[in-house]
C-alpha cells in the first residue's frame, strides 16, 4: 500500500506524512524536499525554481519521474508531493486543505523554528499568504501546461480533509482510520 499526501501549503502535508510513515514503520518521501534540494543546488529559492519551471520542464520532470518510479518499484511507503497522486494512481490519495490565514500562520511559525535554504524569508502572515498564493498559481500553471492536470480538482482523492482546526495527531488518526486496507471490516 502507498499513501500519497498533497494539499495546500501549511496544511501539514510533510509533518503528517512523516508521522504516518513512522507509525506504520514505512519509508517517507517528500517531493518538496527533493525539489528544495534542486533549488539550493542552483542557488535559488523554491519559488524561483517554480518560476523557472514555467519555462523549463526539467524542474518538475525530474521529481515526477522519481516518484513515478517509486510507485512502480516500491510498496508500503508514504509520499508527499503536489502530483504524487497523479504519478502513483494506485495509491490511497489524501488531500489536505487549510484556511489560508491558518496555513500562512503555520508557515510563518515553521520558518522561525527552522530555516530552509530553499524557502524565502517570511516577515509576516501577509507576506507568507502572498508567497502561498504565488506558489499555488505557479504550480497550477505548470501542471496544467505539462500534464493537463487541474491542481484544484479534488475528485481524484480518496480523502479530502480540512486540517484548520485539527491537531497533527487528529489528522494522522483520521487518515489512518479512513484507509480500508488498514482497517478491515469486523465480522459479526
CATH number at residue 126: 3.40.50.300
Question: Could you give the CA distance from residue 104 to residue 89 in angstroms, rounded to a whole number?
Answer: 30
State how far the Cα of 59 lies from the Cα of 178, in Å rounded to an integer.
33
pLDDT 10s digits, 154-168: 999 999 999 999 999
pLDDT of residue 127: 84
Residue 36: inside a domain? yes
| 79 contacts 2 by C-beta, under 8 angstroms | yes
Structural domain contains residue 69: yes
pTM for this entry: 0.85
Q: Which domain holds residue 152?
A: 2-182
Give me the pLDDT at residue 71, please: 93
Measured between alpha carbons, how far is 27 from 6 in angstroms, rounded to an integer?
17
Domain count, the chain: 1
49 versus 3: which is more confidently predicted? 3
Asked, for residue 123, whether it belongs to a domain, the answer is yes
Most confident by average pLDDT, 11-15, 29-33, 108-112: 11-15
Considering the domain boundaries, does residue 167 fall inside one? yes
Report yes or no on 187 lying in a domain: no
Q: What is the mean pLDDT of the chain?
A: 87
Q: State the cell numbers at 139.
A: 504550480
Burial annotation 105-136 (CB, 10 A radius, 16+ → b, else e): bbbbebbeeeeeebbbebeebeebbebbeebb
Residue 147 lies in a domain: yes
Q: Would you state the cell numbers that stand for residue 42, as one nine-digit string?
A: 542552483
- For 77-113, write each residue's pLDDT tens digit: 999 998 999 999 999 999 999 999 999 898 888 777 6
Query: Do the domain assignments include residue 188?
Result: no
Q: Using 50, 70 and 90 to split pLDDT, how confident is the model at 49?
A: confident
- CB within 8 A of 36, min separation 6: which ones? 46, 116, 117, 118, 119
Q: Could you tell me if residue 134 is inside a domain?
A: yes
Give which of 183, 18, 76, 90 is closest to 174, Cα–Cα: 183
| pLDDT value of residue 119 | 63
Asked if residue 3 lies in contact with residue 20, where contact means CB atoms within 8 angstroms, the answer is yes
- Provide the 10 A C-beta neighbour count for residue 62: 12
Within the chain, what is the greatest distance between any pair of CA atoms? Answer: 60
Amino acid at each position: 500500500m502507498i499513501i500519497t499526501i498533497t494539499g495546500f501549503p501549511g496544511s501539514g502535508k510533510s509533518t503528517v506524512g512523516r508521522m504516518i510513515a513512522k507509525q506504520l514503520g514505512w519509508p517517507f518521501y517528500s517531493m518538496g524536499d527533493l525539489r528544495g534540494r534542486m533549488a539550493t543546488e542552483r542557488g535559488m529559492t523554491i519559488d524561483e525554481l517554480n518560476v523557472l519551471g514555467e519555462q523549463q520542464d526539467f524542474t518538475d520532470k525530474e521529481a515526477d519521474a522519481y516518484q513515478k518510479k517509486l510507485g512502480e518499484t516500491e510498496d508500503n511507503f508514504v509520499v508527499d508531493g503536489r502530483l504524487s497522486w497523479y504519478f502513483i494512481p494506485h495509491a490511497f490519495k489524501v488531500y489536505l486543505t487549510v484556511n489560508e490565514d491558518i496555513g500562512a500562520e503555520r508557515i510563518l511559525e515553521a520558518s522561525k523554528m527552522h530555516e530552509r535554504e530553499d524557502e524565502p524569508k517570511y516577515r509576516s502572515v501577509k507576506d507568507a499568504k502572498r508567497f502561498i498564493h504565488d506558489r499555488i498559481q505557479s504550480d497550477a500553471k505548470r501542471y496544467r501546461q505539462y500534464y493537463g492536470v487541474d491542481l484544484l480538482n479534488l475528485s481524484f482523492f480518496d480523502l479530502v480533509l480540512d486540517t484548520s482546526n485539527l491537531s497533527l495527531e487528529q489528522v494522522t488518526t483520521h487518515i489512518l482510520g479512513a484507509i480500508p486496507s488498514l482497517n478491515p471490516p469486523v465480522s459479526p
